[in-house]
Structure 1
Amino acid sequence: MPEYTKEDLEPESLLNDQDQETQLSAKPQLWELAVVFAKLGAIAFGGPAAHIAQIELEVVQRHRWLSREKLLDLLGITNLIPGPNSTELVIHVGLEQGGWLGAIVAGASFIIPAMLLVWGLAIVYVEYQTIPTVGWLLYGVKPVIIAIIAQALWKLGRSALKNATTWSAGIFVLVLYFLNVNEIVLMLGAGVAVTLVRNLSFLKNPKSLSSILFPFSFFPLPLSAVTTETTLKPWTAVFFSFVKIGSVLYGSGYVLLAFVQQEFVDRNWLTSQQLLDAVAIGQFTPGPVLTTATFIGYILAGNLGAIAATIGIFLPAFILVPVINPFVSKLRKSPWTAGFLDGVNAASIGLMAAVAWELGRGTLIDIWTVLVAIASLAILLKFPKVNSAWLIIVGGAIGWLLKFKTV
Structure 2
Amino acid sequence: MASVPVERLDTPAHPSLGEALRYWFKLGWLAFGGPAGQIAMMHHELVERRRWISERRFLHALNYCMTLPGPEAQQLATYIGWLLHGARGGIVAGTLFVLPSVLVVIVFGWIYLRFGDLPAVAGALYGIKPAVTAIVLYAAYRIGAKTLKNAWLWAIAAAAFVAIFALGLPFPVIIVAAGVLGWLGGRYVPGRFELGGGHGAPSEAALIDDHHATPEHARFSRARLMRYVAIGLLAWAVPLGLLVLWQGWDGVYTKIAWFFTKAALVTFGGAYAVLPYVYQHGVEINGWLSAHQMIDGLALGETTPGPLIKIVTFVGLLGGWQQAGLGPDLLVLAGILGGLVATFYTYLPSFLFILIGGPLVESTRGELHFTAPLTGITAAVVGVIVNLAVFFAYHVFWPEGLDGRFEWFSAAIGVAAFIALWRYKVGIIPVIGACAAAGLAWVFALQPLMS
TM class, shorter-length: 0.5 to 0.7
Structure 2 counterparts to residues 97-246 of structure 1, below 5 A: 97-130=84-117, 133=124, 173=147, 175-176=149-150, 185=182, 231-232=248-249, 233-246=251-264
Identify the residue that residue 162 of structure 1 maps to in structure 2: none
CA distance 1:69–1:343, shift in 2 (3 Å): farther
The amino acid across from 2:149 in the alignment is V
Please say if residues 191 and 342 of structure 1, whose CA atoms lie closer than 8 Å, have aligned partners that are also in contact: no
Identify the residue that residue 36 of structure 1 maps to in structure 2: 23
The count of aligned residue pairs is: 303
Structure 2 counterparts to residues 255-404 of structure 1, below 5 A: 255-273=273-291, 274-301=293-320, 302-332=335-365, 338=366, 341=368, 365=419
CA distance 1:80–1:95, shift in 2 (3 Å): same
CA distance 1:257–1:25, shift in 2 (3 Å): same
Q: Distance in 2 between matches of 1:303 and 1:231?
A: 20
Does residue 56 of the first structure (1) align with residue 56 of the second (2)? no
What secondary structure, in the 3-state scheme, does the structure 2 residue paired with 1:278 have?
helix
Q: Distance in 2 between matches of 1:65 and 1:330?
A: 20
Q: Distance in 1 between matches of 2:72 and 2:340?
A: 21
CA offsets per residue over residues 184-228 of structure 1, 9 Å max, x none?
759x86899589xxxxxxxxxxxxxxxxxxxxxxxx99x9xx999
CA distance 1:256–1:192, shift in 2 (3 Å): closer
Please say if residues 173 and 190 of structure 1, whose CA atoms lie closer than 8 Å, have aligned partners that are also in contact: no
CA offsets per residue over residues 118-170 of structure 1, 9 Å max, x none?
1111101121235573979xx9xxxxxxxxxxxxxxxxxxxxxxxxxxxxxxx
What secondary structure, in the 3-state scheme, does the structure 2 residue paired with 1:175 have?
coil
Q: CA deviation at 1:21?
A: 7.5
Please say if residues 93 and 103 of structure 1, whose CA atoms lie closer than 8 Å, have aligned partners that are also in contact: yes
Q: CA deviation at 1:263?
A: 2.2
Please say if residues 78 and 93 of structure 2, whose CA atoms lie closer than 8 Å, have aligned partners that are also in contact: yes
Q: CA deviation at 1:178?
A: 7.5
What secondary structure, in the 3-state scheme, does the structure 1 residue paired with 2:98 have?
helix
Please say if residues 289 and 318 of structure 2, whose CA atoms lie closer than 8 Å, have aligned partners that are also in contact: no
CA distance 1:90–1:371, shift in 2 (3 Å): closer
RMSD over equivalenced CA pairs, Å = 5.0
The amino acid across from 1:298 in the alignment is L
> What fraction of aligned residue pairs are identical, expressed as a percent?
28
Q: CA deviation at 1:86?
A: 1.1
Gaps of at least 5 residues in structure 1 are 1-16, 140-170, 196-219, 333-337, 374-391
Please say if residues 24 and 93 of structure 2, whose CA atoms lie closer than 8 Å, have aligned partners that are also in contact: yes
The amino acid across from 2:267 in the alignment is L
Deviates more, 1:65-74 or 1:40-49: 40-49
Please say if residues 24 and 66 of structure 1, whose CA atoms lie closer than 8 Å, have aligned partners that are also in contact: no
Q: Distance in 2 between matches of 1:318 and 1:190?
A: 34
Q: Distance in 2 between matches of 1:26 and 1:76?
A: 26
Please say if residues 48 and 253 of structure 1, whose CA atoms lie closer than 8 Å, have aligned partners that are also in contact: no
Structure 2 length-normalised TM: 0.53
Q: CA deviation at 1:295?
A: 1.0
Please say if residues 119 and 294 of structure 1, whose CA atoms lie closer than 8 Å, have aligned partners that are also in contact: yes
CA distance 1:317–1:23, shift in 2 (3 Å): farther
Please say if residues 248 and 254 of structure 2, whose CA atoms lie closer than 8 Å, have aligned partners that are also in contact: no
Identify the residue that residue 76 of structure 1 maps to in structure 2: 63
Q: CA deviation at 1:102?
A: 0.5
Gaps of at least 5 residues in structure 2 are 132-144, 158-174, 197-231, 321-334, 387-414, 446-451
The amino acid across from 1:67 in the alignment is S
Over alpha carbons, which structure has the higher Rg? 2
Does residue 247 of the first structure (1) align with residue 295 of the second (2)? no
Please say if residues 25 and 63 of structure 1, whose CA atoms lie closer than 8 Å, have aligned partners that are also in contact: yes
Q: CA deviation at 1:330?
A: 2.0
Q: CA deviation at 1:70?
A: 0.9
The amino acid across from 1:318 in the alignment is F
Identify the residue that residue 166 of structure 1 maps to in structure 2: none
Please say if residues 21 and 96 of structure 2, whose CA atoms lie closer than 8 Å, have aligned partners that are also in contact: yes
What secondary structure, in the 3-state scheme, does the structure 1 residue paired with 2:313 have?
helix
Please say if residues 41 and 288 of structure 1, whose CA atoms lie closer than 8 Å, have aligned partners that are also in contact: no
What secondary structure, in the 3-state scheme, does the structure 1 residue paired with 2:41 have?
helix
